[in-house]
Chains A and B, each alone.
Chain A
Amino acid sequence: MNEDLPQEYGPKWSDQRVERMLGALVCGVVALLLALIVTVFVHAWPSFAHNGLAWFSASGDVEEQLNAISLSAQTSGEYVYTFHAWPLIWSTLLITGGAVLVALISALFVAVFIVEFAPEWMSNILQPVIRFLASVPSVIYGLLGVLVLVPFIGNHLVTEEQKASVAGVISLTGYSLLAAILVLTVMIAPIMVSIFSDGLRAVKPGWIEGSLGLGINRWRTTWKIGVRSARPAIVAGTVLAVARAIGEAVMLAMISGSVAFAPNPADGLIFIYEPSRPLGPTIVKNIDQLSSPPFNATLFSIAAVLLFSAAMFSLAGWLARRSMRKYLMP
């Protein structure tokens, strides 16, 4: 009987077997993620163990510490692990925070515009534009940043007095927080826009109509009803964008400047022209040191911090969305 049937009815492709095969694959992917987390933290452990909480502190010069780590491996004496990463963390916070803030506000306006207010022709242009901006490789953004934006900032925005005022500490060449934040904003805003506009489109029409029926104009209705009900999507989009921003390494390695310097907002507005180097680019720039054991541990400790913060952001986003379940479509 079985011989007459096509192959997929035979025992080779029976349901149980297919289910088991797919299930095994799924388990494999889950195991891979666990292996990744464990591997990163195991390799990072020596650095955390030697530094303790001081890993996150600011003391000494990060570049000198990295040099000492790399030297200690070459001279094959005692490995040195001392590493205080605060300037790198601070730079990550400033750049990510700045870019996410600017991108969040502008993406919200653009998403509202696309969904509610743009004329047909305009939203037909905007949607492919947003999709295009989201798909441009980060290295192209980096290239344009380093060849167009950085020289512009260095030559035209930063004044000579500003350069002179910090001459002994750091040189302002255009590699700056400002350049990094602007380019990162352009990179992550499209991600936000596409998720926000999906959320806005899914708002129950009845809620909008109710508000319109009460005589509230469309602008206020959109912001008070539409945007509020789309909050789960806004959280989801923001979390995704934050994860992208934290993990962005190559583009920032190209334009944020490569000094481990912590720009201080207390110095006045000049701090946005100061160079710095976030966590991700530090890994990219020092990747050739990967074979030396203490440096390897240091790089993996940076990766572990990145991984942990990305995970914490998704957890926070998940918790936030859980409390907003009532806004979700049934």
Chain B
Amino acid sequence: MPLEPLKFSTDAADIILTRIRFRANPMAVRSALEYARQSWHGAGVDPGICSTGEQVLAEVLNNVVEHAQAGRPEGQIELDTRLGNDGVICAVRDDGAEMPDQQLPLGKLHDLTMTLNDLPEGGFGWYIIHTLTKDLCYERKNGWNRLEFRITQDHDPLP
């Protein structure tokens, strides 16, 4: 199945940074992140955007492995990143289960005024994704999930 065109990327001047397909397991995610990091740095992407991008992509890809593709190590993930004039545009596609209600999960920060034993050990991922990205959108089409977002410098709350 060919890669679909990016929703935001209509500009022919966009530079393709990564276009890869890999299996849905944690070690493959590590390799994909390493590959993306090198290609972004190699293309001269701003170091802050590189660092934020790696954080966000890690959260997105972990979610795919742990939820959409849970128990399906043969499941596929595609990562497409491009350098536009306003930061990096990222698209992640996978052929796993759809999001609950075909909706993006809300990224809410936990109330931390609680006792030690009630401290959250998870659920930070979507909060990080929502906080560090711009134009986050989700679509389910032909049995594939597609998440798309931008990483821009001016959108980082803690640069």
Indicate, yes or no, whether A interacts with B.
no
